[in-house]
Amino acid sequence: MAVLTEQSVQKIALRYLDKRYRKKSLWRRTFARPEVRTHKKFGGKRADGLIAFRHWLLGVYVVSIEAKSAKTLPAIRPYSNIRKLLINSLRAGLMCCLLSGAFLALLKMNDGWLQFVIPLNVLAISALLYGLFTLNSHKHQLVDVIDQIRQYPANAQWLAFSKDGFMNLSMAQQEQLRRICQAQGIGILMVKNSWTVEVLHRPSYRWKWFGDFLKFYSKGGEIRKQLR
């Protein structure tokens, strides 16, 4: 199995996605460049790759890329987050409380402490059961690389992993990573070697209701001129 550096993954993924999106661009013209920074007021973060083009229907379309290799394995390994587990469990408990009608005890009953005990018990028991049955769910897990790609706003966001790095994850971790990315609308590329790239999951389209995502990037004005 080829061992790829992060720079190689970055270069190969950018080339692959540029070719992929060029087919959707007006006049077959794209801007594709590595290491593009956001404005300082948006954090001054550097995307591993940025692609922009004029879509024939959607207007200016922006794609951001974050690349990782085996050396940055900790950043792509999912891990459980207690805070997220607690928040999700409380949300589930509150939903059960509302749907079961237990919440109505606060409004309908007039039995002093009992009208508070019923909904609180339903909320607590439902939250506890939800937490126990979904303890290992991807819904309660975080991945550091997802926080990174979120710093590069775009219509489509891609994570590019080297195959040797991705395969260093356990099967359970690979599946969890896929599910988390799918739930958050992030695409996954697996770079096998310098000429072979596999799409594991396509990203969801993210709308920008006013303007476009180029406004977040320091070279946004320059890029916009190139796309005219």
Q: How far apart are CA 58 and CA 19, in angstroms?
A: 18
The pLDDT confidence band at residue 112, using thresholds 50, 70 and 90, is low
pLDDT higher than 90, residue 26:
no
Residue 38 DSSP code: B
Residue 22, C-beta contacts closer than 8 angstroms, at least 6 positions apart: 28, 29, 30, 53
Residue linked to tokens 């237990």: 102
pLDDT higher than 80, residue 60:
yes
Q: pLDDT of 155-204, one tens digit each?
A: 999 999 999 999 999 999 999 999 999 999 999 999 999 889 999 999 99
What local confidence, expressed as pLDDT, does residue 2 receive? 76
* 85-104 mean pLDDT: 84
pLDDT higher than 70, residue 94:
yes
Residue 87, C-beta contacts closer than 8 angstroms, at least 6 positions apart: none
* Region of poorest pLDDT, from 9-23, 50-64, 93-107, 207-221: 93-107
* Region of poorest pLDDT, from 7-11, 82-86, 156-160: 82-86
What local confidence, expressed as pLDDT, does residue 27 receive? 87
What local confidence, expressed as pLDDT, does residue 107 receive? 59
Distances (CA, A) of 60 to 31, 152, 198: 11, 16, 26
Say which amino acid occupies 3.
V
